[in-house]
Amino acid sequence: MKSQPADQTVVPPTGSRRRFLATSGAMATALAVLPAHVLGRAAEKSPNSSPALAGVGVGGVGFGQLQDCEKAGFQVVALCDVDDLYAKKAFDRWPRARRYRDFRELFAAEADRIDAVHVATPDHTHALITLAALRHKKHVCCVKPLTRTAHEGRVLLAAAKQAGVATQMTAAPYTTEAPRRVAEWIQAGLLGAVREVHIWTNRPVWPQGMVRPPGEDPVPDTFDWKLWLGPAPLRPFKGNWPDDAYPLRQLKSNPDWIKAYRGVYHPFNFRGWWDFGTGALGDMGCHHFNPVVSALKPGAPNRVEATCTRAGEETAPLASIVTYDFPARAGQPPVRIIWYDGGLQPPRPVELDEPLPEEGAIYIGDEGKLVYAGQPRLLSPKAAAKAASVPKTLPRRSGTWGEWFEACNGGEPAGCEFNWAVPLTELVLLGNIAIRTGKRLE
Query: What would the pLDDT profile of 157-197 be if each residue is shown by its tens digit?
Result: 999 999 999 999 999 999 999 999 999 999 999 999 999 99
Residue 261 pLDDT greater than 80, yes or no: yes
Tell me the average pLDDT across 115-139: 98
Confidence of residue 437 (pLDDT cuts 50, 70, 90): very high
Helical H runs in 140-262? Answer: 150-163, 177-187, 225-229, 246-249
pLDDT number for residue 251: 67
Pairing of strands 167-169, 139-142: parallel
- Those residues whose C-beta lies under 8 Å from the C-beta of residue 311, and which sit 6 or more positions away, are 209, 317, 435, 436, 438
* CATH match for 6-171+405-414 among 3.60.15.10, 3.40.50.300, 3.40.50.720, 3.30.390.50: 3.40.50.720
Q: Tell me phi and psi for residue 160, to 5 degrees.
A: -65, -40
Other beta carbons within 10 angstroms of residue 381's beta carbon come to: 10
Which residues fall within 8 angstroms of residue 244, CB to CB, at 6 or more apart?
Answer: none
What's residue 22's pLDDT? 47
Burial of 408 (0-12, 13-18, 19+ CB in 10 A): buried
- Confidence bin at 2 (pLDDT 50/70/90): very low
Q: What is the mean pLDDT of residues 355-363?
A: 97
Distance CA 407, CA 418 (A): 13
Tell me which residue of 363, 359, 390 sits closest to 379, measured CA to CA. 363
Using CA atoms, how far apart are residues 205 and 241, in angstroms rounded to an integer? 15
Answer whether 229's CB lies under 8 Å from 235's CB.
yes
What crossing angle do the helices spanning 279-296 and 418-437 adopt, rounded to 10°? 130
Q: Is the pLDDT of residue 245 over 90?
A: no
For the chain, how are helix, strand and coil distributed in percent, rounded to 5?
A: 35, 15, 45
| Phi-psi category of residue 268: left, alpha or beta, with phi > 0 → left and psi -120 to 50 → alpha | left
The rounded distance, in Å, linking the Cα atoms of 95 and 97 is 6
**29 contact partners, CB below 8 Å, separation of at least 6:** none
- The full DSSP string for 374-416 is SSEEE--HHHHHHHTTS---SPP---HHHHHHHHHTTSSPPTT
In b/e form, how buried is each residue of 33-60, taking b as 16+ CB within 10 angstroms?
eeeeeebeeebebbeeebbbbbbbbbbb
Task: Provide the mean pLDDT of the chain.
Answer: 89
Sequence spans of domains, the chain: 6-171+405-414
**Mean local confidence (pLDDT), 18-24:** 44
Neighbouring-strand partners of residue 119: 56, 142
Alpha-carbon span 326 to 333, nearest angstrom = 9
